[in-house]
Amino acid sequence: MTIDPQSPLARGTAIVTGASSGIGQAYARRLAADGHNLVLVARRADRLRALAAELTGTHGGVRVETLGADLSDSEDLDRVVRRAAEDDIDVLVNNAGINGYGPFAETDPALLEKVLAVNVVAVTRLARAAVPGMLARGRGTVVNVASTLAFAGSLPPGPLPTRAVYGGTKGYVVTFSRTLAAELDASPVRVQVLCPGLTATEFHLTQGQESVSGDQARVHDDGGMPVEDVVTASLRALETGEVVCVPGLVDGAAVDRITEAETGLRASSAGTLAPRYRDPAQQ
């Protein structure tokens, strides 16, 4: 898919986190093919350098910077935040994430803090760094990558992973993105939350304490949707104005039904106690 010249992704430099594999790597390739200069961020600097060489070799006019950074490290995150705030950034793809899967009562608290740092704090700080400049320049796009697990809070593990903190962080990304999109609705800055299901990446090969080893990206045994299809869905949704993009969702109206349910829940804020919570003796 070629990006239309009038689309929100028509110009400027794109910063892509988690670009060393999976969705981030696929997004980097698509953006480079459409003429974007890139800032690639990930822990595995060697993979970033290899990707940068590939992209500049294939697309001669594209400039590619690499930033080796662990977004759970405050100093590393500060470096990336400073770059995201510079005046050439018109696209931010907040793709980096780790899962920290495991029983809540048994998972290392340090790993859970890392999940929060990467999936929530980094996403928020990078968006906060990039959006003011986008507003000032009159153009910009933020894509925050969540997961369909954001909508699976009541579903038990098996076959889904044990995921209390991961699911919570992705729920935050969905709510943050939708609310920010509504706040910026009258502005020229677009916000999308991309919610893929199982995707053919190496994401499930580690809980996130360490990167997956090796020079070449791998795919976990469970497979899933090809990353190219996930990115195609995201780009198409940006063109059509979908804030919540779920690449495998056939019934797009399901997202509208979430909004309807939320409207009903919000209507309960009138201050009157619901009958079912009242003391039966006082009814």
| pLDDT score, position 2 | 45
| pLDDT score, position 206 | 64
pLDDT at 100 over 80: yes
Write out the catalytic residue numbers.
Answer: 172
Which domains does the chain possess? 13-282 (3.40.50.720)
| pLDDT score, position 222 | 74
| pLDDT score, position 121 | 98
Residue pLDDT, tens place only, 235-282:
999 999 999 999 999 999 999 999 999 999 998 887 888 888 998 887
Residue pLDDT, tens place only, 47-90:
999 999 999 999 999 999 999 999 999 999 999 999 999 999 99
5 — pLDDT class (breaks 50, 70, 90):
very low
HEC readout, the chain: CCCCCCCCCCCCEEEEECCCCHHHHHHHHHHHHCCCEEEEEECCHHHHHHHHHHHHHHCCCCCEEEEECCCCCHHHHHHHHHHHCCCCEEEEEECCCCCCCCCCCCCCHHHHHHHHHHHHHHHHHHHHHHHHHHHHHCCEEEEEECCHHHHCCCCCECCECCCHHHHHHHHHHHHHHHHHHHHCCCCCEEEEEECCCCECCCHHHCCCCCCCCCCCCCCCCCCCECHHHHHHHHHHHHHHCCCEECCCCCCCHHHHHHHHHHHHHHHHHHCCCCHHHCCHHHC
Highest mean pLDDT among 12-16, 206-210, 211-215: 12-16
Of 98-112, 198-212, 226-240, the least confident: 198-212
| pLDDT score, position 212 | 56
| pLDDT score, position 281 | 80
223 — pLDDT class (breaks 50, 70, 90):
confident
